[in-house]
Amino acid sequence: MKEKQKIINPASGEIITEIALASEPDVKEVTALAREAFDKGPWPRLPLAERKNFLLKISQGIRDKAGELAKLETQNTGKPIKETTFMDIPSSAKTFEFIANNFQKYLEIESPNLEAQAQCRLIREPIGVVVLIVPWNYPLLIASWKLASALASGNTVILKPSSLTPLTAIELGKIIAEAGIPKGVVNVICADAQKIGRILCEDSRVDMISFTGSNTTGRKILEYSLKNTKKMLLELGGKSASIIFKDADLETVINSCLCSAFLNQGQMCTAMSRILVEDEIYDKFSACFIEKAKRIKLGMGEDFQTQMGPLISEEQRKNILDCVEKAKKQGAKLCCGGKIPLDPNLKNGFFFEPTVFIDVLPQMAIFQEEAFGPIACISKFSSLNEAVSLANDSNFGLAGCIWTKDITKAEGLAKELNTGTIWINTYGMFYNECPFGGFKQSGFGKELGKEGFLEYTRLKNVLTDLSPEGKPLVNYWYGF
Ligand code: NAD
């Protein structure tokens, strides 16, 4: 009998379905299938134009089922249907389409010219069997970022969704099968990560692990992978900062900061959970921000009017409550939220009020540690140097925002910030063309863009001697 897992709707606490979990032998079997498909199967050897067509079919398959997928993602994550309908699902389809249309160009490579009679040919190849481990905050989207590039470059993959949110990954597996991708190329496994993580990641038949998730798990996966050294791509946590100068358009900034702190219930790796405001506008900014945060409409994900859904689980809500208590003890001033809403319609879900702390100082845990929930921390700065040092005072380095009308100042400041992405006068613009990835404890490697695609390839150097008698040193050194 297979072990089963109940999949919960976090907005109602109801069971959506039960799924069978892969056992240790199942994981080994799937790894063997993926290895066989890479070593002997057609996928890595397919003409690029054919691989392109398969990717386009997957993209179309997602579009054909967009409505169903949006509902399912909302049901499983609790996030508002507006988000899944307009962001998660169409963006997933777009990533497959974009990679399909661009990967051949990305594979083109210029080989260096060598001395006469010597020829170098550089070749980009797939890496082999790639394990893709994804989190629960953007289940289909992050799976699609990884899958599109890993598949286009000719790898075979094992996709492990979060055990909290596996439902759209299972559907994606079906779409991929319907597209006619050969058996063994894409393998979706749902399993208890604590039981199978080591077995999967230690396996010498796996060549690469692409992981997005928490720093705690990221460190474990690094450790597992050491046994049979393999390529790693790690996209980890963040504690990103928005820097707001007094000349910025206040209304635009406040609305954008609400979005960057509270979208997806603040469960975003790029959440701008630290808001650094120039002292002259600090009081006005804080008052308006708090007033608007109090008006955010919490509710069921299926309702198009809902602006904020529940947290993913009771455990996550406990973590957020702990963060709030610790922040209060350490002297941060709680100005709104910080508790479970009283609305009886929300009582069965894992809801939490949008929470704002002001006068937050860098030595407080809430300034340093990723909460991964709807908590915004507002701090004050009085000079450009202080803004830089506050923003960089973090172990993380994922993203940052700068708000000012002075673009020269903003671009200068962007160079000083220790983060992989900087948004100037905007937030959250993700383009398939642009690489995304963090610095410092936020991980290494890139997703998206040419650089993200190339992560899933390896570079081979083929050197040929074209001289009639061979190179003197090589041929005559022992040429008795
Ligand atoms: P998590 O680390 O708990 O889980 C991530 C994935 O790892 C899940 O599939 C989980 O089942 C799996 N996992 C857990 N333990 C494992 C083990 N021992 N071996 C193998 N796999 C294991 O993270 P989460 O709670 O799902 O996601 C939230 C975290 O993800 C936050 O820290 C957030 O910042 C980060 N995140 C980062 C990015 C980015 O691009 N940098 C994007 C989204 C989320």
82: left (phi over 0), alpha (psi -120 to 50) or beta: alpha
| Domain membership flag for residue 435 | no
* Residue 411: predicted pLDDT: 98
User: From the CB of 163, is ligand 1 less than 6 Å away?
Assistant: yes
Q: Indicate whether 202 and 335 sit together in one domain.
A: no
Mean pLDDT for 246-262 is: 97
pLDDT at 480 over 80: no
Rounded distance from Cα 249 to ligand 1 centre (Å): 36
* Residue 58: predicted pLDDT: 98
Q: Which ligand 1 atom is nearest residue 442's CA? A: 41
Mean pLDDT for 261-278 is: 98
* Residue 205: predicted pLDDT: 98
Distance CA 171, CA 208 (A): 24
Q: Indicate whether 226 and 248 sit together in one domain.
A: no
Retrieve residue 423's tokens: 């948004």
Q: Which residues contact 103 (CB under 8 A, 6 or more apart)?
A: 48, 51, 52, 149, 152, 153, 453
User: From the CB of 372, is ligand 1 less than 6 Å away?
Assistant: yes
Report the number of distinct structural domains present in the chain. Answer: 2
| Domain membership flag for residue 468 | no
Residue-wise pLDDT for 279-323, tens only, equals 999 999 999 999 999 999 999 999 999 999 999 999 999 999 999
Phi, psi of 370 (to 5 degrees): -70, 125
| Domain membership flag for residue 470 | no
User: From the CB of 374, is ligand 1 less than 6 Å away?
Assistant: no
Q: Which ligand 1 atom is nearest residue 213's CA? A: 30
Q: Indicate whether 265 and 149 sit together in one domain.
A: no
Retrieve residue 99's tokens: 């990679």
| Domain membership flag for residue 480 | no
Q: Indicate whether 34 and 105 sit together in one domain.
A: yes
Retrieve residue 81's tokens: 């249907």
Residue-wise pLDDT for 184-202, tens only, equals 999 999 999 999 999 999 9
User: From the CB of 133, is ligand 1 less than 6 Å away?
Assistant: yes
| Domain membership flag for residue 176 | yes
Closest C-alpha residue for ligand 1 atom 8: 162
Residue-wise pLDDT for 366-422, tens only, equals 999 999 999 999 999 999 999 999 999 999 999 999 999 999 999 999 999 999 999
Parent domain of 203: 4-236+442-463
User: From the CB of 319, is ligand 1 less than 6 Å away?
Assistant: no
* Residue 1: predicted pLDDT: 77
Cβ atoms of 310 and 77 within 8 Å: the answer is no
Q: Indicate whether 163 and 275 sit together in one domain.
A: no
Rounded distance from Cα 90 to ligand 1 centre (Å): 23
Q: Indicate whether 205 and 250 sit together in one domain.
A: no
What residues are annotated to the active site? 235, 269
Mean pLDDT for 234-243 is: 98
- 188: β partners: 159
User: From the CB of 225, is ligand 1 less than 6 Å away?
Assistant: no
Residue-wise pLDDT for 74-126, tens only, equals 999 999 999 999 999 999 999 999 999 999 999 999 999 998 889 999 999 99
CATH label of the domain that carries residue 98: 3.40.605.10
Q: Which ligand 1 atom is nearest residue 138's CA? A: 43
Rounded distance from Cα 93 to ligand 1 centre (Å): 22
Mean pLDDT for 2-22 is: 96
Q: Which residues contact 141 (CB under 8 A, 6 or more apart)?
A: 87, 88, 91, 92, 95
Closest C-alpha residue for ligand 1 atom 35: 213
Side-chain half-sphere of 243: how many Cα atoms within 13 Å?
28
Cβ atoms of 54 and 179 within 8 Å: the answer is yes
Q: Indicate whether 89 and 220 sit together in one domain.
A: yes
User: From the CB of 267, is ligand 1 less than 6 Å away?
Assistant: no
* Residue 475: predicted pLDDT: 72
State the CB neighbour count (10 A cutoff) for residue 424: 15
Q: Indicate whether 174 and 294 sit together in one domain.
A: no
pLDDT at 131 over 90: yes
Q: Can you list the alpha helix ranges (DSSP code H) found in 296-397?
A: 314-329, 365-368, 384-392
CATH label of the domain that carries residue 379: 3.40.309.10
- Identify the band that residue 167 occupies on the pLDDT scale cut at 50, 70 and 90: very high
Cβ atoms of 440 and 397 within 8 Å: the answer is yes
* Residue 341: predicted pLDDT: 98
| Comparison of pLDDT for 466 and 308, the residue scoring more | 308
Rounded distance from Cα 135 to ligand 1 centre (Å): 4
From the DSSP assignment, how many helices (H) and strands (E) are in the chain? 17, 19
Q: Indicate whether 206 and 262 sit together in one domain.
A: no
Cβ atoms of 311 and 317 within 8 Å: the answer is yes
Q: Which ligand 1 atom is nearest residue 135's CA? A: 26
| Domain membership flag for residue 431 | no
pLDDT at 353 over 70: yes
Distance CA 27, CA 25 (A): 5
Q: Indicate whether 390 and 458 sit together in one domain.
A: no
Distance CA 327, CA 333 (A): 8
pLDDT at 36 over 90: yes
Rounded distance from Cα 170 to ligand 1 centre (Å): 18
- Identify the band that residue 449 occupies on the pLDDT scale cut at 50, 70 and 90: very high
Rounded distance from Cα 142 to ligand 1 centre (Å): 11
What share of the chain has pLDDT > 90, as a percent? Answer: 95
User: From the CB of 389, is ligand 1 less than 6 Å away?
Assistant: no
Per-residue CA distances from 363 to 216, 359, 382, 412 (Å): 22, 12, 18, 27
* Residue 2: predicted pLDDT: 83
* Residue 137: predicted pLDDT: 98
User: From the CB of 438, is ligand 1 less than 6 Å away?
Assistant: yes
Per-residue CA distances from 33 to 132, 188, 231, 310 (Å): 15, 12, 20, 38
Rounded distance from Cα 396 to ligand 1 centre (Å): 15
Q: Indicate whether 267 and 345 sit together in one domain.
A: yes
Q: What is the mean pLDDT of the chain?
A: 96
| Domain membership flag for residue 432 | no
Rounded distance from Cα 232 to ligand 1 centre (Å): 14
Retrieve residue 198's tokens: 């080591």
The pick from 190, 212, 396 for probing ligand 1's pocket by mutation, whose C-beta has the most ligand atoms within 8 angstroms, reads: 212
Q: Indicate whether 199 and 159 sit together in one domain.
A: yes
Mean pLDDT for 59-77 is: 98
* Residue 381: predicted pLDDT: 98
pLDDT at 215 over 90: yes
User: From the CB of 165, is ligand 1 less than 6 Å away?
Assistant: no
* Residue 263: predicted pLDDT: 97
| Widest Cα–Cα separation across the chain | 93
User: From the CB of 420, is ligand 1 less than 6 Å away?
Assistant: no
Retrieve residue 202's tokens: 């230690």
* Residue 472: predicted pLDDT: 65
Q: Can you list the alpha helix ranges (DSSP code H) found in 203-313?
A: 215-226, 250-262, 279-294
- pTM beyond 0.95, yes or no: yes
